[in-house]
Amino acid sequence: MNSFFKFDERIEAASAKALETAKTQFEKIEDIAEYNQQKVISAFIKHGVSESHFVPTTGYGYGDRGRETLDKIWADVFGAEDALVRHNFTCGTHTLATALFGVLRPGDKMLCVTGTPYDTIHNVIGIKGSEMGSLKDFGVAYDEIPLKDGRLYYDAIEAAVDESVTMVYIQRSRGYELRPSLVISEIEKLVKIAKAKNPNVIVMVDNCYGEFVEKLEPTNVGADLIAGSLIKNAGGGIATTGGYIAGRHDLVEKCAYRLTTPGLGKEVGATLGMNRELYMGLFYAPHTVGEALKSAIYIAALFGGFGYKTTPAFDAERGDIVQSLGLENPESLVAFCQGIQSGSPIDSFVSPEPWDMPGYESQVVMAAGAFTMGSSIELSADAPIREPYYAWIQGGLTFHSAKLCAMLAAQKMLERGLLDV
């Protein structure tokens, strides 16, 4: 209790109950975060990181020790042979596209086994017609296997992975769907099935939102290539832009040839002083992901306690940091997002309203008050205003700040007569 924020005592009581409910889950998160923190530190120690690794380079960036060492540390942390960590990957989509174009060739076939992938990847693949410059445009074939009851359809995958399939593509996170995220044990099983059918197949994982959620990463269990964004989990809330690719050495090299140019690959790329924040982001990432997971679990426990549908449930096994809440009607979605926004460190004075976002079929309401624009390791919520009226929530740099936002969201809903307490 303090004088900074005033809550209805029913919200206070519900929050205390949610914390009690979440206790066992929090202990599991602490265990994973500590394991991953030690994994990261041991890689820093092994490679003898010092201030000299943060020295900015300019021009070609030849011999940038910080850049070269960060790649090695990243590879060790992710159980991979090699990595490509760069501030000049503009976003997750760009990073994933670099990896796809890096390793696929005309006549190859990509098979996505987690249903239709994340929206922004559609144009990369050329799913809708032949988008200019898409993989399809370059003669790469694409097919997908739907999920079965929200989980990998192993039998159909086994039947489909033959000699014609060059790459099996997995999206670990649920994205904006109500399916569960993939856990590492499922990815491991899938790798075994795919490689048994075609030993040459490349298994690639869109690892966005998945880094450090479990003790192992897809590359620890046989995935050949993974990629993700640094303004999500792996940047620890510190990196202000960038992406990473990790995996088999020959594949990462091809990705580097795509990012820069054949022949130059990883040898060039001035870091301009960005190294420090990428190192510091990786250092923080296990802890920050733990905070984001605790935030998601608390929100699930709190709003589950109010009677709302939560996916995943507070005690479900998690493969990513995304939490969704079925808030049942447009008014609740708007009140929820406004409450979240009101407790944000940045732009707390802004009141989100639904708007017609380009590329969306319905209006969308969003809350985001982040230090890094668009960062979703920082607490953010967005909700399309349509059935089944779900809000998608992710991030939380510190558990206590995310908890405050969730309580303010509940309070806002209560004030508008939308909450049954």
CA triplet 80, 94, 92: central angle to 5 degrees? 65
State which of residues 21, 36, 57, 93 lies at the interface with ligand PLP (CB under 6 A): 93
The reply to whether 180 sits near ligand PLP by the rule CB under 6 A is no
Name the minimum Å distance from CB 297 to ligand PLP: 19
How many whole angstroms separate alpha carbon 95 and alpha carbon 387?
A: 32
Looking at beta carbons, which residue is closest to ligand PLP?
92
Q: Coil, strand, or helix at residue 278? A: helix
Count of CA atoms in the C-beta half-sphere (13 A) of 358: 1
Name the minimum Å distance from CB 93 to ligand PLP: 3
Name the minimum Å distance from CB 256 to ligand PLP: 20
State which of residues 66, 175, 247, 319 lies at the interface with ligand PLP (CB under 6 A): 175
Q: Coil, strand, or helix at residue 259? A: helix
Name the minimum Å distance from CB 206 to ligand PLP: 5
The reply to whether 120 sits near ligand PLP by the rule CB under 6 A is yes
Name the CA radius of gyration of the chain, rounded.
22
Q: Which stretch binds ligand PLP (CB under 6 A): 33-41, 171-179, 256-264, 270-278?
A: 171-179
The reply to whether 206 sits near ligand PLP by the rule CB under 6 A is yes
State which of residues 14, 75, 190, 208 lies at the interface with ligand PLP (CB under 6 A): 208
Count of CA atoms in the C-beta half-sphere (13 A) of 332: 20
Q: Which stretch binds ligand PLP (CB under 6 A): 159-167, 170-178, 180-188, 336-344?
A: 170-178
The reply to whether 209 sits near ligand PLP by the rule CB under 6 A is yes
Number of residues this chain uses to bind ligand PLP (CB under 6 A): 12
**CB burial readout 359-384, b (16+ within 10 A) else e:** eeeebbbbbbbbebeebbbbbbbbbb
One-letter identity of residue 290: G
What residues contact 123, with CB distance under 8 A and at least 6 apart?
131, 134
The reply to whether 229 sits near ligand PLP by the rule CB under 6 A is yes
Site pattern 321..360 for ligand PLP (x: CB under 6 A): ----------------------------------------
| 36 or 114: CB nearest ligand PLP | 114
Name the minimum Å distance from CB 91 to ligand PLP: 3
DSSP 328-394: -SHHHHHHHHHHHHHT-SSSTT-----B--TT-SS-EEEEE--SSTT-SSS-EEEEESSTT-EEEEE
| 93 or 338: CB nearest ligand PLP | 93
| 116 or 120: CB nearest ligand PLP | 120
Name the maximum alpha-carbon separation found in the chain.
66
Count of CA atoms in the C-beta half-sphere (13 A) of 382: 19
Structure tokens at 101: 């174009």
The reply to whether 92 sits near ligand PLP by the rule CB under 6 A is yes
Which parts of this chain interact with ligand PLP (CB under 6 A)? 91-93, 118, 120, 171, 173, 175, 206, 208-209, 229
